[in-house]
């Protein structure tokens, strides 16, 4: 592969037939039309979804759009923190199910060490 080919950005959606691309793009555009949620809120949700689904291109695009829609650095940070928390909880949920299925308990859950009563 030549250096020029390696640096060239590969086009997206090359494995999706045109009819399905049109359906997807119509759906995507409709989700961003005026509704009960403002554009900034939609972009913050999209950032969380992009993080959760590991979509790097989506994440970069939605961060740019969120900033353009007026999101502050604090709002971006909070969105990321909430997503981190939900993902951590998802890991706990999966390990709880595995623990139950395998009947494994490594630690006593009666201990509240390090837990906040306000959570």
pLDDT score recorded for residue 46: 97
Question: Where does residue 111 rank: exposed (0-12), middle (13-18), buried (19+ CB within 10 A)?
Answer: exposed
| Cβ contact 48:79 at 8 Å | yes
- Given a cut of 70, is residue 111 above it in pLDDT? no
Which domains, from first to last, does the chain contain? 37-103 (1.20.1290.10)
Q: Does the pLDDT at position 2 exceed 80? A: no
Q: What angle do CA 36, 73, 49 make, to 5 degrees?
A: 50
Report the predicted TM-score, pTM, of the whole model to 2 decimal places: 0.77
Give the pLDDT of residue 6: 61
All residues at 6 or more sequence positions from 110 whose CB lies less than 8 Å from its CB, including other chains: none
Identify the DSSP state of 54: T
Which band of pLDDT confidence, cut at 50, 70 and 90, is reported for residue 115? low
Share of residues in the chain with pLDDT > 70 (%): 87
pLDDT reading at 117 higher than 60: no
Q: What is the pLDDT of residues 6-49, one digit of tens each?
A: 678 888 899 999 999 999 999 999 999 989 999 999 999 999 99
Mean pLDDT of 72-100: 96
Q: Which pLDDT score, from 0 to 100, does residue 74 have?
A: 98
pLDDT tops 60 at residue 84: yes
Which residue, among 11, 65, 16, has the nearest Cα to 40 in the 3D structure? 65
The one-character DSSP state at 33 is S
């Amino acid at each position: 592969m030549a250096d020029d080919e390696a640096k060239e950005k590969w086009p997206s959606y090359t494995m999706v037939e045109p009819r399905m691309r049109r359906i997807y793009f119509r759906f995507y555009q409709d989700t961003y039309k005026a509704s009960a949620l403002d554009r900034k809120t939609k972009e913050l949700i999209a950032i969380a979804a992009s993080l959760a689904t590991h979509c790097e291109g989506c994440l970069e695009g939605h961060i740019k759009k969120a900033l353009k829609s007026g999101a502050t650095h604090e709002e971006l940070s909070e969105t990321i923190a909430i997503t981190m928390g939900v993902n951590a909880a998802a890991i706990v949920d999966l390990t709880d199910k595995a623990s139950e299925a395998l009947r494994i308990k490594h630690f006593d859950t009666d201990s509240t060490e390090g837990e906040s009563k306000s959570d």
